[in-house]
Amino acid sequence: MAIIEGKEKRGFFGKLAERITDAVLLRPQVDEALMEELEEILITSDIGMETSVHIVDELREAVRLERIETPEGVREKLKEIIKGIVDKGERLKVTEAYPIVILLIGVNGGGKTTSIAKLANRYKSEGKKVLLAAADTFRAAAAEQLEEWSRRVDVSVIKHQEGADPSAVIYDAAAAAKARGIDVLICDTAGRLQNKRNLMNELEKMNKILAKEYAAESIETLLVLDATTGKNAVSQAEEFGKVAGITGIVLTKLDGTAKGGIAITVSDEFDLPIKFIGVGEKMDDLETFDPERFAESIFSGEY
């Protein structure tokens, strides 16, 4: 996915690549002034204070120990550090302990429902039998919206009436999945309830039901974050992390204009793997996150 050409239209990757390249190449030597400038660039690129300081501290130490003296050496080490932050190894992979269940959580408007549709399409195209559960019973028309997506993808959905007990939907969906020999059960959940206690209680009830039908290693809880919201997404990761055992992130709207620094911040501050990224509106625009490609994009200007 190429970044839109033209400096005034370049997105996160293009702008950050340009600023880092200018800082490194225009400095006559690798010194503390360069370190401070790089730190400022990262902080003002929505990567976040703590993570930016962490990156530059590690870079500073590498420059000293490895005697890095060239601009290219600094660039390569910075790329290596960023890759190390976002690369969570085996945790980047979605479980393959079939049959599996995937709960998607996140605030309304963050791309949760479309991500469910894209995941369903992904698994269906791999030959898996997929079932959806419309357990966001508190948002008006949420079930109908999911049902519309299910028709487009050609998979079934289990739903109850608006305002019904979300856990009852999960119970029925798990029973249906077992009876039908479903490979992947994907569950929508409420993005907002009256308070965090209610949300936590609902998620706990859902997990207890699923734990009776699925092995622990078969359950994924993915937090959907909108990359364009920048620092708000960090706050969401913090809040949802208090009420759910998050196993990974689905980062949506990571296109040419997105604030891609959120991927680095979430990976660093919360030690959470980015499992999928949404890069467009098409049904197949949900990609497996590639740490090396992401780190390279910081310097190439495109993802």
DSSP string, 140-154: TTHHHHHHHHHHHHT
104-145 pLDDT per residue, tens: 999 888 889 999 999 999 999 999 999 999 998 888 788 888
| pLDDT tens profile 180-236 | 999 999 999 877 654 566 777 888 889 899 999 999 999 999 999 998 887 888 888
Please tell me the class of the 91-293 domain: alpha beta
Domain boundaries along the sequence of the chain: 7-89, 91-293
DSSP calls for 43-60: IIIII-HHHHHHHHHHHH
> In which band, very low, low, confident or very high, does the pLDDT at 45 lie, cut at 50, 70 and 90?
confident
Pairing, β 286-288 against β 274-278? antiparallel
- Residue 134's DSSP bridge partners are 188
DSSP 154: T
Between 20 and 187, the higher pLDDT residue:
187
Q: What is the mean pLDDT of the chain?
A: 87
Q: Give CA–CA dist 64/75, Å, rounded.
A: 15
Interval 277-288: pLDDT, tens: 988 778 888 999
* Ranges 137-146, 258-267, 288-297, most confident: 288-297
Which residue in this structure is represented by tokens 């309304």?
A: 108
Angle between helices 71-86 and 291-300 (to 10 degrees): 140
Phi, psi of 163 (to 5 degrees): 90, 0
Distance CA 174, CA 140 (A): 23
**To which CATH superfamily is domain 7-89 assigned?**
SRP54, nucleotide-binding domain (1.20.120.140)
* DSSP per-residue codes, 90-125: GGGSPP--SSEEEEEE--TTSSHHHHHHHHHHHHHH
Distance of CA 299 to the CA centre of its chain: 21
Tokens of 210: 């699923």
